[in-house]
Structure formats: C-alpha cells, structure tokens
Structure 1
Amino acid sequence: MARLLLATVAATVLLLAAGATAQQQGCENATFPAGRSFARCNTLPVLDASLHWTYHAANGTAELAFRARSSATGWVAWGINPGGAGMAGSNVFLASQGGGGGAAVSVLTTVLRSTAPALDNTTLQFGVPVPPTAEYAAGAYTIYVTVALPGNSTQQNTVWQAGPVSGGAIMPHPVSGPNLQSVKRQDFLSG
C-alpha cells in the first residue's frame, strides 16, 4: 500500500512538473507576426492567457502583447489599475470581433468605473503612444499595445478577462472561479 501511494505521489509530482514546464515553454515559444518579439513573458495563472513585453527604461514604457484563448465569438481584455487592485478603476483594452468569426478585430479602450461598467470608448488615465491593435488567430486573441507605465513605476496592478459576445454586443464575463482570480501585481522590470 505504501509503495502504491509513493508511486502515485511521484507520478503526480512528475505530471505537475511537466505541466508547469509545458506552460512556461508555451509562453517562451510564442511567435508573433511581422517580426514582433518581446524580451519577457509570463504565463498568467488563469483564463489560458499570457503577457509578453519589452520594458523601455529610457521613456518608462512597456511594449506588450496580451494573448488569451477565446472562441471567435468571444472577447478578451487586459488592463492596468493605476489606483488599486481589482477590476473597478482599471483602464483596459478589450478585443472582439463584433460580427463574430471572420469579422475584423477591434480594440475598445475604456475605464471600468465600477464592477458593472458601461463599455464606452474612453481615453485612458495613462499614455498610449501608439493606438492598440489586435488579431484573432489559432483560437486566441492577441492585443498589441505600448503603454506609458503609470507613475513611471515598473510595478503595476493588472487585470485580464474573457467573456462572450451575443448579437454583436459584449456580454458580462462569468462572476465565479477563474474570472474572479484574474488579477496580478506585474513587475515589468524583472517579470
């Protein structure tokens, strides 16, 4: 019995290690079109997402790509909350294909003033030197953007989400499980 338990524990540890390695390799081995590349990446802990970036200390900006799996009839979002942690107060970039699969991908920028926000296209509370773009390929959205890090700080509270689109309208994301865990204090200097 002890031998079986030990073998089960060893197998579980090996599977977890292999899964963590595969997840890290996925982030590290991501490819981007048009010769885009990034110095660092993190596989985010929930919603099958990753963040790739290059920090430019000379001007306090981060050039980044946020990638998350989604159906073509869904949406994904990534943002920074310059005033605290969590969704309310976050400045986000939301990508979707308004008409569903095959339609052009658009990016909405908005400030989430509450946990039940109006998704209006708004100027963010930090600089965005180049307009954001996005694409949908291989079952994932990728948002490309360069941001002036608020307060010129490399430590930022970040959020990300994914949800459905219905009839061309962005619908609320689920309010349980991974969707409530999609927050992270991101270090753009060291990762």
Structure 2
Amino acid sequence: MAHQIALVVLLLVSPAAMRAAAAAGACAGEKFPAGRAYATCEDLPSLGASLHWTYDAAKSSLSVAFVAAPAGSGGWVAWGLNPTGEGMAGTQALVALKGGSSSSAPAVKTYNITGYVPLGGTSTPIAFPATDLAADEGSGGKIRLYGKLQLHKGMKSVNQVWQVGSSVTGGAPDKHAFGAANLASKTKLVLGSKATAATAPASEPSPAPIAGGPSPSAGAGSDSGASSSVAPSASKNAAAAAGVSAPALAVLALVGFLAIV
C-alpha cells in the first residue's frame, strides 16, 4: 500500500517539478568569456532573449549582458532603458550590429531613440554614460551584447526594452518585424533585489517598434508595444527556489503519512 501511495505522489509531483525546472530558465546556463560574470539573470518574455546583470547600488552602476538571436544572419539585436516611458521613444539603447564580414565581431553603437525615424550609422550620446561596450557571438547564432551604464543616483527600477532585426544597411539597423513577439518586448527592470523579476509595465496606448519609418519603425531599443503579460521569469535565484519547494513538500508529506501507517 505504501509503495502505491509513493508512486501516486511521485506522479503528482513530477509535472510540478518539471515546470519548476523549466521556470529556472535557460539564462543560468549561459557561459561567458573569462572576466564576465553577473549576479542575476532572467529569461525575457519574448524574442528568446535573456538579460544578465550586476547592479552596484553604491556607484549606481549597471553591468549587463543582453543575449538574443538576430532575426537574420546579418541582422542586429538591441537592448535599452527608457527612463521616461515604456516604448521605443525615450529609450537609451545599446545595439549590436552583425552586418559586414561573417567572421568579424558585431559592432556596438548607442542610440538615443527620440521618435519613429530611421537610425543613422553613427552612434548618438545616451542619457546613461556607457562604457565597456562589446559584443560577441554565442551558441545558436545568438549575439551577446555587453555594456556598463552609469544610472541616475537612487534609481530603483526602470523600464527596459529590447528588439531584434534581420538586416543592417550602411552601418545602421533596418526596420524590424512587427509580430506579436516584437510588440511584447518590454518589461520593468527592478534593480533593488538579486531575485529581481521583470514585471509588466503599465499599459501603453499603442505599440510602436524600433527605428524605421513614419509609423512603427525599426531601430534599436524596442518600440514594442504590449506589455509583457505575466512577470517573465523571475531571476534565476527565485526560479531555483521554486524548483525545490514542490518536491520537498511532497516528500515531507509522504514521510509523515508513512510514519502514521
């Protein structure tokens, strides 16, 4: 009888354990070059992207690694912070552009996205002084974009946006697609906790993509509209905790039952 009960418990726990393992996310398995390590990571809710970061509150310094696959072999990926809104306009973006030679490392540029107009081939100054800018290629055709931003003192959370595109022309990112995933590429980045979860920002009238044309266009950052519906995945720390709790509780319950019988 005890064996049968144990089997039933295991069958009930297994799906929960698998879901918890999935919640831990792929970001925790990312291996960076020597000298690049981050305290927290989270799998973002769209475009298969992830963000890894370390925030030094005393210095208001944010070191990041954004990982995503461009929409085309010669495309681009972009990530940025928007201190004034939730979409593309106002985003202070870091952009890694493949283009050029397939053997060369992606070029990194900064853009202050002021509206829905095409971006040029030259970087523009952004509100958060950026250093340590670099990019390389990870597994599965992904681009890993690195940088350190000097944030405003006392900043505890800020909207983040990201985007991917399929091509580069004249050293500038071309317009990205407007699929559901492209239009859901924004969340709020909470800086005050290692177990930071991305939370959906307040609703925005209508989504707008990154640099491009008169209407939603392509460029770096993301103009992406719809907010992420559910808190993406919490950081790896929170996810890991969730992964242990369900099986542990089930085992404790089983041990208690067997002790009674």
Larger radius of gyration: 2
Corresponding residue of 1:40: 40
CA distance in 1, matches of 2:153, 2:43: 25
- Residue 54 (1) aligns with residue 58 (2): no
CA distance in 1, matches of 2:20, 2:165: 25
Corresponding residue of 1:184: 187
Amino acid across the alignment from 2:150: A
Matches within 5 A, 1:125-136: 125-128=127-130, 130-136=131-137
Normalising by structure 1, we get a TM-score of 0.83
Cα distance, 1:18 vs structure 2: 3.8
CA distance in 1, matches of 2:116, 2:18: 37
- Residue 107 (1) aligns with residue 146 (2): no
Superposed CA RMSD in Å reads: 2.4
Matches within 5 A, 1:151-190: 151-166=153-168, 170-190=173-193
Change (3 A) 1:97 1:151: same
Cα deviation, 1:107-150, whole Å, max 9, x if unaligned, reads: 0100111133423410101222x241111232111111111123
Change (3 A) 1:99 1:20: farther
Size of the aligned set, in residue pairs, is 179
8 Å CA contact 1:161, 1:179 repeated in 2: yes
Moved beyond 6 Å, runs of 4+: none
8 Å CA contact 2:78, 2:162 repeated in 1: yes
CA distance in 2, matches of 1:91, 1:34: 27
Identity %: 36
Cα distance, 1:19 vs structure 2: 6.1
Q: Note the residue ranges of structure 2 that are not aligned, 5 or more in a row.
A: 1-10, 197-261
Cα distance, 1:34 vs structure 2: 1.6
CA distance in 2, matches of 1:91, 1:49: 18
Change (3 A) 1:175 1:150: farther
CA distance in 2, matches of 1:167, 1:127: 26
Greater share of strand: 1
